[in-house]
Every structure is written in C-alpha cells, then in structure tokens.
Structure 1
Amino acid sequence: MDTPRVSRVTPVDARARESGGESGAGSTLTDLLLRIAQQDTDAFAAFYEQTSRRVYGLARRVLIDPELSEDATQEVYLQVWNSADRFNPAAGSPMAWLMTLAHRRAVDRVRSEQSSTDREARYGAATLVPDHDDVVDTVTQRLEAETVVKCLDTLTATQQESVKLAYYGGLTYREVAEKLGVAVPTIKSRIRDGLLRLKACLGVN
C-alpha cells in the first residue's frame, strides 16, 4: 500500500490541534499504532490528528525555523507509518516513543543543516577564484576550510559580514557595498582588514 499523505503542519494548525497526551489516550494511541502497523490509513490519520501538535512543537523548539520544523514533522510521521510495527508497548507509552522519534529527527536535521553549511564553506574555499587583491589570493591558496570557519569567528561582526558576502557569496566590492548600504572604500577596508586577520589566524605568511 502507498504511503499515506502527510499534511504540512503550520503554526496555526499546531495551536488548533488537541494533543493525544498521556491522560486517558495512551491505550487509544497504542491501538492506533497497532492498526498503523497493519497499514490502516484511517488509524494513521487519527494518530496524526491526536499527536502532531506536540511533535511539531518539539521540532520547533529544536530547529526554530518553521519550515524546517514542518519538514521534520512530516518525516517523523512517515517514519511512524514505516515502523509502527516496531513499537513495543512494554517499553513505554506511544507518546514517549513518538517524541523520541521526533527528537532524533530534529537533531538529525540540525546536524544535516550544519553539515550542509560546512560543505558550502569547504566548496567556497576550494573553488573560489577571487578578483579583489593579493591578500585574497594568498588566503585562498593556503586555507583549510575547517580552520577558516573557526577563524572567521575572530573577525568583527562587520568584517565577517563583508568577508562572507565577498568570499562565500562571490560578490564584488561594489555589490557588497550596495547590499550593506556602505561606501565602497569602507567595504574594501573591512574586507582587507578581515582577510589580514584571517591570515594571522591561519598562520599564512
């Protein structure tokens, strides 16, 4: 049987739903999970309606971002559909099992997003052909991406913002200046000072 469609959970939906909870609903959720294990789509819909508020709420607390939280919630319920037969009533309540799945999924999302950011940083470090000045050339030739990510934290907020736009965003001085609403000479100074500080942090001579 095809996987049932999982509705996207919005903040409004989350507030409107009644949680399945643990008081008086535990046995009902257990029954629903047993039916879901038999690929019962009606049971799945009922389980989703009773519990999605709490799953979304947990995901939102971990991920902050509403869209990522919605995606994580969808993934949790797809996991429920595919693994309901693994639920063991003797090991804990349905809600505890579900919230464990939700927490793991949210944490996985956090790690995935961080990994994606790191990959972009490494890619930018490896492929950028800057056209700003000799300081940029020196840094790009000698950097190690992971170290650069750490060294970026040593820059001031304005230096970091300008360097990221130019270095990772591939913008020219003028484009960075227009984006930040700052004069081009100021942007040049920020980027050059920032890159000099990066050189010192990276040990580039």
Structure 2
Amino acid sequence: MERVARGDQDAFATLYGAIAGPVLGIVVKVLRDRAQSEEVAQEVLIEVWRQAPRYRPDKGAVMTWVLTIAHRRAVDRVRSAQAATARERNTASREHARPYDEVSEQVETRLEGEQVRRCVRGLTELQRQAVSLAYYGGLTYREVAETLNTPLPTVKTRLRDGLIRLRDCMGVTA
C-alpha cells in the first residue's frame, strides 16, 4: 500500500487483482444491479488509487479500508437514486394534482352564477316563469305550456325572447 501511495502502478496492479472481486461483490450486494455495480466498483478502485496516501495501517487492514469505501460509495448511489425518484414523483404529483387553479375556477363560477341570476331577474315575470320551468325545472316546451296553462306557441315566444335577453345580458355573441 505504501508503494501505491507513492504512485507505483505495478503495486496498484497487484492490489487491484486482490481487491477488485471483493469490491464488486460488496457493491452488487448493495445495488443489486450488475451494470451500476460495475460502474461504482470502477469509481471505488479509482478512489483507492487517488486516496492511497490517506490510508493508515494503524486504523485497519487494507481490505477493510477498501471495502468500507466500496460500501459507502454503493450506499451513496442508492440514496442518490432514491432521492431522484422522490423528486420525480413529487414533481409529477404537483404537475398532475391540480391541472387548473381551483380558486380561480371557483371565483369564476360564482361570478358567472351571480351574472346569470342578475340577468334572469331582468326578464319579465312571464319570461322568467317559462325559462325557469324549461331550464331549471327540466320541462319540455309542451310541459311548460301545460303547467302555465298557456298555448304552446306563446310559451315558445316567451322562451325565445327570454333567451335572447339573457344572451344579450350575459354578453354572449350570436
């Protein structure tokens, strides 16, 4: 390890032969994905080469030091993947949770309702009765005529005139 710390590539090749298998083994146990494990194992081996001067023999065996690095790097990869998945899930839920602004929609609906009520109040009493029975009561023109005891053509005229006044009051273009 001292020779590796001084940059001896032959010493690293020997170390590599001894640690590559166990490094890959521990990383695969954590990640459970062969392709990702190979990538992380390669990162660990590069880190061992770069960090060799930091190794302290009095703190533990070389293999323990290397496998600790491998385990930590694999756990970091798992955490990173979990965080990315959580971010994507949160972003997706925020985008799909409210496809429109609920408050604006409620305000607009309330204002439209108030405008309809105001416009209906602007109809004559006869028009208001016919429109209310037909559109709010769900009656057919014939049923409105029977309910009001009024000839069918008169009911049709009242409804037509009432709807024209409502359209004009609401500002709807024909």
What's the TM-score, normalizing by structure 1? Answer: 0.46
Secondary structure of 1:70's counterpart equals helix
Displacement of 1:97: 0.7
1:113 and 2:76 equivalent?
no
Residue of structure 2 in register with 1:68 after alignment: 36
CA distances 1:1-53 after superposition (whole Å, capped 9, x unpaired): xxxxxxxxxxxxxxxxxxxxxxxxxxxxxxxx211211222222221111111
Amino acid in the other structure paired with 1:73:
A
Q: 1:124 to 1:89 in 2, by over 3 A?
A: same
State how 1:134-145 maps to structure 2 within 5 Å.
Answer: 137=98
Matched positions, count: 102
CA distance in structure 2 between the aligned counterparts of 1:141 and 1:117, rounded to whole angstroms: 26
CA distance in structure 2 between the aligned counterparts of 1:107 and 1:84, rounded to whole angstroms: 21
CA distance in structure 1 between the aligned counterparts of 2:95 and 2:52, rounded to whole angstroms: 45
1:101 and 2:77 equivalent?
no
Q: Which runs of 5+ in 2 are unaligned?
A: 103-174
CA distance in structure 2 between the aligned counterparts of 1:122 and 1:42, rounded to whole angstroms: 49
State how 1:32-111 maps to structure 2 within 5 Å.
Answer: 33-111=1-79
Q: 1:98 to 1:137 in 2, by over 3 A?
A: same
Q: Which structure carries more helix by proportion?
A: 2
Alignment RMSD: 2.1
Q: 1:48 to 1:141 in 2, by over 3 A?
A: farther
Secondary structure of 2:14's counterpart equals helix
Amino acid in the other structure paired with 1:92:
G
Could you list the structure 1 runs, at least 4 aligned residues long, displaced by more than 6 angstroms after superposition.
none
Secondary structure of 2:65's counterpart equals helix
Displacement of 1:72: 1.1
What's the TM-score, normalizing by structure 2? Answer: 0.53
Secondary structure of 1:39's counterpart equals coil
Residue of structure 1 in register with 2:106 after alignment: none
Q: 1:64 to 1:141 in 2, by over 3 A?
A: farther
Secondary structure of 2:84's counterpart equals helix
Q: 1:137 to 1:126 in 2, by over 3 A?
A: closer
